[in-house]
Structure 1
């Protein structure tokens, strides 16, 4: 099915949806509510942000946050794992499995277009949950500076295993746009031991202060079937990428920015082409593997009696969830100050130990 025939774009500027030129467009209501807080924040932090400083290390007002830790939000990337990994285990076709892995990854990107940012986890913070298929989810903040989260998902009866780490960075690209990237490999192992790995593209958020706010993914997702020597470099916004990727879309009219394209290869042999949009669908040689709203996503269920370090016990999250922004802001600042103090102590102790070991 051609991209234009989906008819999913929303031209009403007041509604959230797919921007006509490509990317995800946020609703006016969402944007208006945040811009006042964003302006006050930019006034407070001054010009330092426009030098490329990492926004992750900058304290922001809770009015810009959703009541979730990044440890919980990172699970959005696996929203379709139970569905597609079950299908992958059911087929013995190596190429078909690879297509399903890519469909799982692309489908989940549509779940990440959330207007508000998550809370930065503190060192040692954890998160535990489960999917409806019985998969157990574990995540922990393993580094404070730079911020790094490690995670693993154990599928039911050893059907699949997902692990990796996520290091998030973000910086302003001038006063009206932002670039962010979750780096770190996402590794998957199926029941028979077949192993895959892939990375996430980076995002660009335009219209922070003026104009329509649109989120676009750009760059290249590198998919690898380590066990069977299959690989696919999937380009986002291939017209912008140019070169080989642009040639896959030989059309007179420029493709929407959310277009994706690539080729799957085994060595020098091309096995199939991949085309679609991260907002709506994915096709391999014209066969549809994902269409938005046709596959049910999985939402993690919180486990009973998690570790005391679980993010659900954070006072700032609890307060924000109840609508008490003032208490949430105070709790967030207290937690950040404590973390800075503990980091200082660790640094001093490390210097002391190095001197003793000389």
Structure 2
């Protein structure tokens, strides 16, 4: 009818309603189509080889889905974007960019008019979705709470009561710490004797630090309480309704995936001898090509199917224990610890073993050798670039044991040592020594009969950031291959422990590692991507490029620090560019990737044994003939492993107090020597000594020798009594 045609033309002139089908649009059938329901053709950026590809887009219920064809809507959705959290940016020449969860979608319309219509529809859909999630508090609508919602409300009220108890505890602590701090300030003002100034100032600083920690906890607890309280407004009910609609959409998507799965199974059964090509546009986006803000400066194009010929099996370790006593179910309550800290100096507060795992930092450093067979293979390599790939895989493998390990290793005492003799099983011997207490530093030396030597000095620097702790290992790792003289040097990345105050603890590693072969000047640059819940990348992703001394890339490395690493040889490279809005990247065409390293499976019952690996389970195993300073002989650590945590805490406090007294004694001797004008005798480690690096001109602790000879003679007369 003419009236309907005129109304349609009027809506189009006003820029609202449904755009014309001739322009590539159509609305859903029926008269009940909502204003944010549209569908039509757009060009979507896929990869550097294919560029922009035509895709069928459907906007419905705050979600933008896309397909290769209209017929695919019945069985295969290539991707879905939630408009509630998307950022819409309009570019030049009919170009628009949607950003969601750290990922960019580059789209193009056939004309500027059509582009504007898409933008209007998307912005309207985003506004509707946002309004659904964040309804105003002063809304007069009555919401009927269903029976399941009442149960949720009851549980949330219990949580609020618990949070109120935390706030009450924090309030008491702040009051007590504040009063103690005020008393210290008053005493400092009334100070008459200058000699007491340092002690008083130290007390004030310690009480101020304790007050700051408690205040941070109070702030976090208040934030949690406010967040929970806001969840009981009408806005929460609206969000529940939105989640129900999202669930319905997900159910439909799962049904589509099930149909697609059945179709693939049927196709495979009909042609079992062939390998169907992966035609998923989404696979291309996720793995290599979609434009992302923090993506690496290269992409790879595998030339054929995946090859795992580089895999190797776990060597059987014989004669070693395969389990330790189960970890007791002791809860870790921050507030109970802080209550016990009232009125004490921070330096005298013993942190309980609840925070620890029954290994020392020296043993954790030795655990870097979990995959020493990678270095055995590297020692047999003729090609230095292939050797670099294995060295890089070894540097990544040292992090694989930490993914579930949130317990803190015991801080070694000054002069504490740890040896690991694996000549029979793995061909190497390892010795560590704690060479400094402030700052804490450990030196490590490994000699292998299979053609390599490794040494390192690591100093740990940590910073408390409120919700997380950053741990920065300082120092270099050196690796020398005997036959070739190739000398590799690299450092460790930053480790971060999240949810210190509230939530479940978890660990991540991020940053860059630059491995240099000092002899040939070959390099490998590794990037540890920080974990992001919204990223579509593989979690804990690691990528890298191996280049020669001229900067020419030869291998691409990829994988994750908690699972595996692969290498792919580059056969061709080129520069690609898709306009000023997309960063220029190097496109590498590679041979099929080969597996360099694969993480060993954890032992059975690992979740009750601190998530220790097979090697970690043997590190604290009692062994005859070791030095009396060996970490295996620490009583607090041994008691904790046995599950006797209360007794372990008593011994831990005794050892720490003894170490503090020994440090004060050395400081007093140093002061006397300075007053008398005598040369100050600095602490000297027993098995390591400081040497100057001829290339960097930096000094570090290097093994001086003698330990294994002393063990053979069982002559430990030089060793101090530290336990």
Q: Same fold (TM over 0.5)?
A: yes
Within-5 A mapping of 1:23-62: 36-42=332-338, 59-62=350-353
Shift of 1:298: 5.3
Match of 1:264 among 541, 546, 559: 546
Partner in structure 1 of residue 598 of structure 2: 291
- After superposition, the CA RMSD in angstroms is 3.2
Contact 2:406 2:507 in 1 (8 A): no
- Structure 1 residue 90 corresponds to structure 2 residue 380: yes
Contact 2:531 2:540 in 1 (8 A): no
Contact 2:496 2:509 in 1 (8 A): yes
* Partner Cα distance (2:633, 2:560) in 1: 38
Shift of 1:351: 1.9
Please give the secondary structure, in 2, of the residue aligned with 1:218: strand
* Partner Cα distance (1:237, 1:149) in 2: 27
Unaligned residue ranges in structure 1 (runs of 5+):
6-29, 47-52, 241-251
Q: Against the structure 1 CA distance between its residues 291 and 322, is the aligned structure 2 distance closer, same or farther, given a 3 Å change threshold?
A: closer
* Partner Cα distance (1:169, 1:34) in 2: 29
Within-5 A mapping of 1:12-161: 36-42=332-338, 59-81=350-372, 83-113=373-403, 114-131=405-422, 132-156=425-449, 159-161=451-453
Partner in structure 2 of residue 243 of structure 1: none
- Structure 1 residue 226 corresponds to structure 2 residue 518: yes
Q: Against the structure 1 CA distance between its residues 212 and 309, is the aligned structure 2 distance closer, same or farther, given a 3 Å change threshold?
A: closer
Please give the secondary structure, in 2, of the residue aligned with 1:98: helix
Please give the secondary structure, in 1, of the residue aligned with 2:629: coil
Q: Against the structure 1 CA distance between its residues 340 and 71, is the aligned structure 2 distance closer, same or farther, given a 3 Å change threshold?
A: same
* Partner Cα distance (2:566, 2:601) in 1: 14
Higher relative contact order (CA 8 A, sep 6+): 1
Shift of 1:71: 1.0
Please give the secondary structure, in 1, of the residue aligned with 2:651: helix
Q: Against the structure 1 CA distance between its residues 228 and 59, is the aligned structure 2 distance closer, same or farther, given a 3 Å change threshold?
A: farther
* Partner Cα distance (2:506, 2:645) in 1: 27
Please give the secondary structure, in 2, of the residue aligned with 1:210: coil
Shift of 1:297: 7.3
- Structure 1 residue 335 corresponds to structure 2 residue 655: yes
Partner in structure 1 of residue 505 of structure 2: 213
Please give the secondary structure, in 1, of the residue aligned with 2:624: coil
Q: Which moved more, 1:287-296 or 1:302-311?
A: 287-296
Q: Against the structure 1 CA distance between its residues 45 and 205, is the aligned structure 2 distance closer, same or farther, given a 3 Å change threshold?
A: farther
Contact 1:76 1:112 in 2 (8 A): no
Partner in structure 1 of residue 573 of structure 2: none
Please give the secondary structure, in 1, of the residue aligned with 2:430: strand
Unaligned residue ranges in structure 2 (runs of 5+):
1-282, 288-325, 569-592, 603-612, 679-723
Contact 2:508 2:531 in 1 (8 A): no
Shift of 1:118: 1.2
State TM-score, norm by structure 1. Answer: 0.77
Contact 1:165 1:184 in 2 (8 A): yes
Match of 1:276 among 550, 559, 568: 559
Larger Rg: 2
Partner in structure 2 of residue 50 of structure 1: none
Q: Which moved more, 1:266-275 or 1:303-312?
A: 266-275
Contact 1:139 1:149 in 2 (8 A): yes
Shift of 1:262: 2.6
Q: Against the structure 1 CA distance between its residues 276 and 334, is the aligned structure 2 distance closer, same or farther, given a 3 Å change threshold?
A: same
Q: Against the structure 1 CA distance between its residues 223 and 182, is the aligned structure 2 distance closer, same or farther, given a 3 Å change threshold?
A: same
Shift of 1:59: 4.0
* Partner Cα distance (1:254, 1:232) in 2: 25
- Structure 1 residue 349 corresponds to structure 2 residue 669: yes
Contact 1:69 1:121 in 2 (8 A): yes
Shift of 1:272: 2.3
Within-5 A mapping of 1:186-265: 186-192=477-483, 193-237=485-529, 254-265=536-547
Shift of 1:253: 6.2
Match of 1:312 among 624, 632, 649: 632
Q: Against the structure 1 CA distance between its residues 320 and 294, is the aligned structure 2 distance closer, same or farther, given a 3 Å change threshold?
A: closer
Residues 203-225 of structure 1: per-residue CA shift (max 9 Å, x gap) = 11222343343321111112111
Contact 1:130 1:137 in 2 (8 A): yes
Partner in structure 1 of residue 457 of structure 2: 165
* Partner Cα distance (1:79, 1:222) in 2: 21
Shift of 1:238: 6.9
Residues 272-322 of structure 1: per-residue CA shift (max 9 Å, x gap) = 222221122212223321233389975666653111111111121122122
